[in-house]
Amino acid sequence: MELCSRSEVIEDSAVEGWDVIDSGGFGQIYKVRHRVWCCDVAIKLLHYDDGSSSSLLRELNMMSRARNPYVIHVHGVFKGRPRSPSSSVQLGLVMEFMERGSLASLQNTLRSPLPWPLSVRLTHQVALGINFLHSLSPPVLHLDLKPSNVLLDGSLNAKLTDFGLAKFYYSVTGSSRKNTEEEGGTISYMPPEAFDLSYSPTRASDIYSFGILLWSIVTGKQPYPYAMSCLVRLRIPKGDRPSLDEIRCQAEGRIGLTKLMNLMEKCWDSSASQRPTAFECTRETEEQYKMHKHAIRDAVHHVLKKLEENDCNCPSSSQAERQLSSPVQRVNMIFSDITGVQVGNYNSMSIHTTDPLERRRHPTAPSAVPASPHHTKRDRRS
């Protein structure tokens, strides 16, 4: 896949101040300053490159076609040596910089549901983005809709990003799923049919993910946060979905919440043919948006004020939030013949081992090891 001649090529001499703002299995995203444009931009570099940068250029092709106010804008292609003059030349996507990061980072910072009018606007803006992608010819399927792929500008307006898994609809019909990384997404947001060996994504695949995303926006939480992926893969096709109990309790005090809850259930229907279209979703969210439009400015002001207070009270909050938001980790540990499980979340840790009566001293271990007072005190605290 060749570099599109219409794409702006931005070399490393044109940018400065490389600052990592996000990273993952795909690679890293940097905030940099464009010397000529006099503004900040975001550059996405991939960890792995097959020599042709085909995956990155494919994403560029997708995003270049999706020019819409609710889809992140791509300025061009970065070409240069970002880390050092001796490193190899890399290609990257140069995108508009979104000041407030992702919806996921906002949820982790606030740790509570967003004000209802702002939730309504976000759901409508996401629906507008999906509807635009699905209305293209051929339609573009995003296939990885989730809070971390919804970016927010300085006024908390939403735009869709990350088209690494996106596909043209005609290119996937009739295909079989052979590679999870190519055809998949984030398990908690994937539709039940995605776990079939013969899965072929359609527009309805995005609609299911949109339904789960709606739930996340309203509750401020992630679906199945502590469930093992193998269990999620098993239960979603059997009909398990995020709990609506919390939303039902709030429905009486929030105008339109019952309708959005009904929309969620339609979107995550087990049958793809029964799910609404992106157009129908947009019409429904538009109705709610018009009802709450007058209260959105105050809701945005409230959230921005809380973010400013958080920044003042905790200068390194972004790093702390990433650590505190990490799910519980379970790591098998083996010491001689003793097997245990570490359970922790960066703040606390406990060790669960087998029955002490089942322990046996390793033949090479010393006959006795005196316990230090320091260890004794720590054991009592735990």
DSSP 8-state class, residue 292: H
The neighbouring-strand residues paired with 141 are 167
What would the two tokens of residue 284 be? 């429904």
- Helix 296-313 vs helix 317-324: angle between axes, to the nearest 10 degrees? 100
Give which of 260, 269, 266 is closest to 236, Cα–Cα: 269
Helix (H, G, I), strand (E, B) or coil at 82: coil
Tell me how far CA of residue 278 lies from CA of 135, 144, 206, 272, 284, in angstroms: 9, 15, 9, 13, 10
Residue 223, preceding bond cis, omega within 30 degrees?
no
> End-to-end distance of the chain based on CA atoms, in angstroms?
57
Residue 45, H or E segment: strand 39-46
Mutual angle of helices 257-267 and 203-219, in 10-degree steps: 140
Which tokens belong to 28?
A: 């890293």
269 is catalytic: no
Give the number of other Cβ atoms within 10 Å of residue 325's Cβ: 17
Nearest to 65 by CA among 163, 158, 151, 145: 163
Type of residue numbered 67: R
Supply the DSSP string of 59-98, one letter for each residue: HHHHHHH---TTBPPEEEEEEE-SS-TTSPPEEEEEEE--
Contact (CB, 8 A) for 1 and 14: no
- Rounded to 5°, the CA angle 92-96-101 comes to 100
Q: Which of 12, 22, 144, 206 is catalytic?
A: 144
Residues serving a catalytic function are 144
